[in-house]
A and B are shown apart, each in its own frame.
Chain A
Amino acid sequence: MADVNIKPITRLLVANRGEIARRIFRTAHEMGIATVAIYADSDARAPFVHEADSAIALQGKTSAETYLDAEKVYAACVASGADAVHPGYGFLSENARFAEAIMKRDITWVGPPTHAIEQMGDKLSAKQAMTDAGVPTLPAHELNVGDDLAKAAEAIGFPVLVKAAAGGGGRGMRVVESGADLEAAVESARREAEASFGNDTVFLERWLTASRHVEIQILGDNHGNVVHLFERECSIQRRHQKVIEEAPSSAVTPAIREKMGSAAVNAAQKIGYTSAGTVEFLLDGEDFWFLEVNTRLQVEHPVTEAITGLDLVREQLRIAEGEELGYDQDSLTINGHAIEARLYAEDPTKNFLPSPGTIQVWKPSSQARFDSGVEAGSEVSVNFDPMIAKVIAHAPTRREAAAKLARALETTQLHGITNNRDFLVATLRTPAFIAGDTTTDFIERVNPARTREPSPTEVSDAAIAAALFAQDRRRKNAKVLRHISTGWRNSLMPPERVRYAVGDNECALEYRAQRDGTFEMNIGGENHHITLHGVNGNQIDLAIDQRRITFSVSEDDANRYVHAPTGDVVLTELDRFPKPGIAEFSGGLYAPMPGKVLATEVSAGESVSEGQLLVILEAMKMEHRITAPIDGVVQEVPVSEGDQVDNGQILVVFEENEEES
């Protein structure tokens, strides 16, 4: 122990962005450590940049041009005068060469030693190390050029998972059910792996359709001490990416915990692992298989913090400074239950496709921990991960934690961007989830509601709130006659009329202000008497007949975001007047989100059949295949390979085949 000296950290650069940068800054500031942020162009006004004591611009747009550019980040570390670098997760966090360069410069690397990153970072070598240590692993096959794909897959047995050796976050992963799709899946996994990690090595692994994803959090110091902080279960995934995580797992018995924990600690000790790390397993009944090691802090670390009372970033920083853990395995206990949900800018109704955009309204509930990188007005850009926030609830029991988290999500005001909130709430409230029946195929199997359908009353209430809020705004901003009673008439004139689109439905309402300041309103034939008790900021306090409700209303062009105690409703006010000169375009296929055209597979004049691939688009580091919706003839392909396209931009003009003429 005398060979390790304490080396205090005074200025910490976080080589990351968004919520994780903020989360690390928070602990650093609590520990009296100055902080440095680095940022891409589009993050110039992001909260994490403001919260750091100083910041360095990376001058670039994409991940590759900024947070993934090891040379640029290294230069920033040197220029900032930081004496330590925390990589967060993703980006360069598992890049051993980068870690090495940092350490050579005598800057403290807040993470495991490079040899551990190297050995564990590559999924194949990690598997080998575990097999050697006697931990069960799933059959796998590394794919080299010229390999007989079919044979390799047959040997493993379908379904088979194509996986990037350097992967993470579900990128470069494909489940293949049969030999027919194998080649295309491998090709596209390689492309995605190359784009995301700069390494196109992929391998095949046995795919367990309905197992649980359970992982052990480990912590090791530079004095030979390694403990595990119990398990987390992260079975609920879409697109191979976790959305709901919890600790402890309802399926892990003390015996399994002991076996998994020991396996993880032993492996870590064997390779001299330090700092925080995660050993991932698949669990099926009593059996478990090693999957991979993540040599970094995990997105879902807060659930472990909640049940152990430890601050994992603090532990990482202490360890990096050379301190001893100061506790052993026996002194650690599990306190209650914690669940985390990841709030994403994605569309659950479109296979959880990312849906970048601008957050218009953001007001987190006070009933849960929110780790987020956004605020109202933040843009979720096409260039980075579309996570809005992690929301963590901690309660004495699992059932209470689930209820608390669902309600915290439900009462959070989030508008302006398509997101998975309603899906998360629905998932947390399914009997299957509450029963702890969570497996990796949970979403397909249980099929929780992808969106919340507000009830007719909720829609009508929201429309009333939106209409009277707008009414109040107009009266307050009126250029003339501002003090005259709203909608005042001395004779009988038609009522005020407003029409909203709510999803695919239309909601029309009519109202007349009464002499006593109340309103008589008609919505879809139903009459209501409304008393407007007051408007304060974006709060509107109404009595709708006998029911007294306070709503929050935010307006953005024609959109009206109404937050009621039962949840959010979005309405779009329809124009009173016809819009001139906009003829409807039909027969076009549009980009579902902003992205880059990877390939155009057809050209003008070509006849195509339903389902035929037309264009491949890359967006949010994922490939999206645009296929023909019906049989027809391509009229025009206005984009070409390499083009950057906007959401809604026409990719292919397409004419339906005429019925027999």
Chain B
Amino acid sequence: MAVLQSQLDTRSEQFRQNKEEMTAKLEQMDELYAEAAQGGGTEALERLAKRNKMPIRERIAWALDPDSPFLEISPLAAWRSHVAIGSGFVVGVGVIEGVECVILGHDPSVRAGAFNHFNSKKLMRGLEVARENRLPYVQFVESAGADLRGGGGGGGGGGGGTPVDPLLRVEGHFAESGRLFYEITELSKMRIPTISLVFGASTAGGAYQPGMSDYNIFVKNQAMVSLGGPPLVKMATGEDAEPESLGGADMHTSTSGLGDYLAENEMDGIRLLREVVGHLNWRKLGPGPSMPADPPIHDRQELLGIVGEDLKKPFDIREVVARVVDGSRFEEFKPRYGPTLVTGWASIHGYPIGILGNNGALMSESSEKASQFIQLCNQIDVPLLFLHNITGYVVGTDFEQGGITKNGSKMINAVTNSTVPHITVIVGASYGAGNYGMSGRAFGTKFTFIWPTAKIAVMGPEQMAGVMTIIQKASAERRGAEFDEAANSLREAAVMANAEEQSKGLFATSRVSDDGMIDPRDTRDVVGFALSAVANDAVKGTKEFGTWRM
């Protein structure tokens, strides 16, 4: 297989500037990670330690096989929101006793593990990752339940402010909130084991988290599981319930049978968890790595200087490929046809993969090439990696007459119905229908990651502002009103600024619209990790697609 040669000029001004901008973003990320790792802050952590309890990251770290990698999902959720960064909840894919598992749980140091919009979304995403990739599901249960200050129900929005504030922030209703329990049960039916390690309170609906799990480990003197806590029992029946006999670990493991294992303390619970996972007889259904897993010959450090903040500056996506795939080997498919999309075969950490990467707007030819390439990978059961730097499908009369919408539709048909695993990394822009065609988040993609300088939106900020100006002008003309240029400039600037902010990768990732922002240098490890995770399920392509528009 051909080895990619690099044309990257690492001494150019452009490289230097890109690297500077990227490095600044990475420093910002590191600060945010450090903030997230602080959980509910020093005082809360001290309070926890006094009760011999560990914050969620400690619990997870002890559960993982030493030295094994851990991929946290959406670690920067809730940035610039009323909720602590990370949303007081950790979800990730990690290795326990040699088994890749979805591991998730509330951080007891953050609002006692209360639910909010962001961590609800992360929890549901964790369930989805377990279901779609057939990964055993491990939940560390300790939650105060819905944050009553935030309105109640799965969509509560957190607390603070005046009593009416929470109502203003309600984004969902209690009636939608049962999906969590439905999905835990569904996993079990799909023969995906579910394990609850209960560290603390799990009352009301929360009691069904262990209730619906296959295995329950309860930590002595900490776990408290009941449909109604003592206050609710008092309200409902007038009984003065004693907490331990109402829902304590000792009672549940000896009397009610809700608990299967009694742990002496948190560490003992984690030990038991590792034993349970160890006996699952877990066998991955997909293939293991089958190709040489040698690192790329080009330095991954150089990934920092390929793309910067200014996404209008073009770069060759092969420069990224050359620093991600095994041995920088890449067999390019149809290099002379539809060159605005690069397609070809390679391997990452030994897993064969088909890559689609943008080198310009999607044209009819590149769309057709994509459709063919996706079908070929489905024919041979090879997963797909989409590398986004896409401003969209090309527009204009000539292109429409040339069938761009028709050919773009073919590509979307192929992407939609393809059944091999898709992994997406947004390295530059990801605008409009280009995002869909390149297997964006909404297209059943198994994992989606984003580089720090990337942007995602329906269109570029300038296009958006310009389009709005044109529409406003047309509207003014129709009304016969005079068009206020000065007011329009102000509005245009505001629209642009807002669109710019909202299109930034950090905003996207904080809204849990991807699986996380990654250091470009980690791309190879992240994609390799994802390829291994998806192989827990069978990797099987299809010949069945929707009707091809001809």
Contact = CB atoms under 8 A, between A and B. Distances in A.
Interface in B188-247: none
A493 B66 contact: no
B403 interface: no
A576 B271 CA distance: 9
A483 interface: yes
Interface string A31-46: 0000000000000000
Contacts of B289: 483
B349 A471 contact: no
A484 to B, nearest CB: 4
Contact of A483 (B36, B57, B293, B526): B293
A578 B61 CA distance: 16
B67 A486 contact: yes
Interface stretch (B95-103, B309-317, B371-379, B482-490): B95-103
A471 B264 contact: no
A37 B57 CA distance: 62
A578 B519 contact: no
A484 B60 contact: no
Nearest to B271: A577
Q: Give the residue among A471, A490, A493 with the most B Cβ atoms within 10 A.
A: A490
A488 B526 CA distance: 9
A475 B30 CA distance: 26
A486 B70 CA distance: 10
A474 B66 CA distance: 8
A443 B532 CA distance: 63
B350 interface: yes
A174 B100 CA distance: 65
Given A490-B75, A491-B37, A492-B36, A481 B68 contact: yes
A490 B34 contact: no
Interface string B264-288: 1101101100100000000010000
B69 A491 contact: no
Contact of A481 (B58, B95, B267, B516): B95
A479 B289 CA distance: 11
Q: Determine the interface band of chain B, counting residues with CB < 8 A from chain A.
A: 35 or more
B528 interface: yes
Nearest to A486: B67
Contacts of A475: 67
B69 A487 contact: yes
Interface in B516-545: 516, 518-519, 521-522, 525-526, 528-529, 532
B20 interface: no
Residue of B67, B75, B349 with highest tally of chain A CB at under 10 A: B67
B72 interface: yes
Contacts of A491: 33, 36-37, 72, 75, 516
B297 interface: no
Contacts of B57: 492-494
Interface residues of A, number: 28
Interface string A511-542: 00101000000000000000000000000000
Contacts of B265: 578
Contacts of A515: 519, 521-522
Contacts of A576: 62, 66, 267, 271
A513 B70 CA distance: 13
B231 to A, nearest CB: 34
Interface string B36-79: 11000000000000000000011011100111111110010000
Contacts of A478: 65, 68, 95, 98
Contact of A493 (B37, B349, B521, B532): B37
A494 B36 CA distance: 12
Among B58, B66, B268, B271, residue most surrounded by chain A Cβ atoms (within 10 Å): B66
A578 B269 CA distance: 10
A513 B68 CA distance: 11
User: Interface centre among A470, A488, A498, by most B CB within 10 Å?
Assistant: A488
Contacts of A580: 264, 268, 271
Interface string A288-304: 00000000000000000
Given A480-B532, A578-B264, A471 B75 contact: no
A489 interface: yes
A490 B267 contact: no
A474 B67 CA distance: 7
A479 to B, nearest CB: 4
19 contacts: A474-B68, A475-B67, A478-B68, A479-B99, A480-B284, A481-B68, A481-B100, A481-B528, A483-B528, A484-B349, A485-B69, A486-B69, A487-B67, A493-B61, A494-B61, A496-B66, A577-B62, A578-B265, A580-B268
Interface of B: 30, 33-34, 36-37, 57-58, 60-62, 65-72, 75, 95, 98-100, 264-265, 267-268, 270-271, 274, 284, 289, 293, 349-350, 516, 518-519, 521-522, 525-526, 528-529, 532
Given A490-B71, A513-B67, 5 more contacts: A483-B349, A488-B529, A490-B522, A515-B519, A578-B265
